[in-house]
Amino acid sequence: QVPFTVLQGEGVEYLGHANDAVIAISNYRLHIKFKDSVINVPLRMMESVECRDMFQLHIVCKDSKVIRYLCHFSTFKQCQEWLKRLTRAIARPAKPEDLFAFAYHAWCLGVCVDEEDQHAHLCRPGDHVRYRFEMELVRMGFDLQNIWRVSDINNNYKLCSSYPQKLLVPVWITDKELENVASFRSWKRIPVVVYRHVRNGAVIARCSQPEISWWGWRNADDEYLVTSIAKACALNPGVKVPGGVPHNGSSDGSEACDADFDSSLTACSGVENAGTPQKLLILDARSYTAAVANRAKGGGCECEEYYPNCEVVFMGMANIHSIRNSFQYLRAVCSQVPDPSNWLSALESTKWLQHLSVMLKAAVLVSSAVDREGRPVLVHCSDGWDRTPQIVALAKILLDPYYRTMEGFQVLVESDWLDFGHKFGDRCGHQEKVEDQNEQCPVFLQWLDAVHQLLKQFPCLFEFNEAFLVKLVQHTYSCLYGTFLGNSPCEREMHNIYKRTCSVWSLLRAGNKNFHNLLYMPGSEQVLHPVCHVRALHLWTAVYLPASSPHPLGQDEMDIYLPPGSQSQEFSGRCLDRLPKTRSMDDLLSACDSSSPLTRTSSDPNLNNHCQEVRGGLE
């Protein structure tokens, strides 16, 4: 008999016993039921599995968790059989439809007669996500009549497959010029505007590196487009306060900001009159050495001599290979048993917090340039789909309180990560027919960690809580939802993923009070100035050390991976107010019907022999 409640669309493929547990492998997860605990791990969450001490399995997960000594098999042969089964189960899919998100969505449509209504209510995100581009243009006050225009040059992704179909550029830039610029930028990822500061009109744009190569190529249209972005900001300056000077929106928390990196930004402090373009900041996420080295592969960086009224600053952020190595070291340190005596030095040697510090500094540099000095900023790295969204999205959170709401955060992830082609399939390791492990890297997880650092420093300025971020980490890898499948918007549209899978935002919606921050103070327009020093950063224990930290939703340790549909149907329209309750053992025994069968593992395994956990309690 299957030892767990089968998920919607879930089919059990293997069922067996070890000396101390019942084991089942379905098309979604590995389930192991011990006498007093349960382990549920989505298959796509697993990075590797191996045999240890001849009779035990050892699982390494993509979100840093390591499950040691999974269960004890009676023979070496039996252990090897289950090792082979698990290895086959976690192998990369042959086609997207092999991922569980498609089967889960098919079940969701089948439970209701009116499939369209069911899909709209349970699976799709809200209108704020579906119509995000148009709504954001209005919210940020772009003058689409005289200064800016929405180009359709990328309709059907004919210009760039990793860019959205609608691109925002200055009104006088023609599509012909955009085509010429695309031939000069890596992967045809041209400079386009993604954010506008309402009060002073300064914008944030993003792109990939220019293809200068050793020959020192130039492109007149590219130089014209970059300088035109600064000119457009001057012509569309934003809302001014009395006195004629644009309000900079700064808060009194500026003294907490790092002061040990300047990049000569003070050279053009103050906001000039609307007719004079501010000096545009080109922020290259790489080090100068790495940028120059890219010239050998046809890339490079902008030369200030060719881009008038521009300043180029290099941030020295590590590439995906260094971040992957750092994450692997962090996972190894966090999974050491027993706890290492040199914990602090071991943590320092991973350089994980150092990488977070550099990312935060880059975002603060962007937000300070935009907010305090009214300067437009152009951000890029090499390809523009890893470090670039990290900086841009983080800077937008610092600048705009809308992105600190649950609704705004969803728009942010969709716009800056999904629409602009972050390679979730490759980076998360669930892309079909790809065996190159060097493409795998927790770039999005690292960014969520940086958001977690901001939440720690400003606990009253975010509508969502830490549980929201933890759940997003889990479902980035679980493949229960289709939100993070594929490498680009073109690919997701080609496989019709939007209509054939459920959206993770249907779970992490604003109405779900499990993810609401009780300390949140709405209405604050404060621009965040975080402390970026390593000593001010914290290890995200809820993700990297879950056994030593309180569980966000009152879940017991072994059920942290259990998807929503297996228990209380978070997809349903029922009450979502499942806040943790605390009762004494005597109260629980008197409140529970001992004749009822158990439905899940309670937080205290000793109670399993006596009662069923109260519905709506610790879950």
Question: What is the radius of gyration, based on Cα positions, of the chain?
Answer: 25
Q: Write the burial class of residue 287 (CB in 10 Å: 0-12 exposed, 13-18 middle, 19+ buried).
A: middle
Under DSSP, the state recorded for 373 is T
Told to judge if 301 belongs to the known catalytic residues of this protein, a careful annotator would answer no
Positive/negative CA dihedral, 156, 158, 160, 162? positive
Q: Which residues are annotated as a binding site for substrate?
A: 294-297, 319-320, 381-387
DSSP E strand stretches across 483-604 = none
Give the separation between CA 86 and CA 271, rounded to whole angstroms.
61
Q: Which residues are annotated as a binding site?
A: 294-297, 319-320, 381-387
Q: What is the DSSP string of 60-81?
A: EETTS-EE-S--B-SSHHHHHH
- For 52, the enclosing helix (H) or strand (E) is strand 46-52
Asked if 106 contacts 9 with a C-beta cutoff of 8 angstroms, the reply is yes
Give the separation between CA 333 and CA 544, rounded to whole angstroms.
10
Q: Helix (H) and strand (E) counts for the chain? A: 20, 14
- Among candidates 419, 436, 517, 299, which has minimal Cα distance to 427? 436
Question: Which residue in 108, 233, 310, 381 is the catalytic one?
Answer: 381
Under DSSP, the state recorded for 251 is -
Asked if 523 contacts 339 with a C-beta cutoff of 8 angstroms, the reply is no
Please give the biggest Cα pair distance in the chain. 82
CB count in 10 Å sphere of residue 437:
12
Active site residues: 381
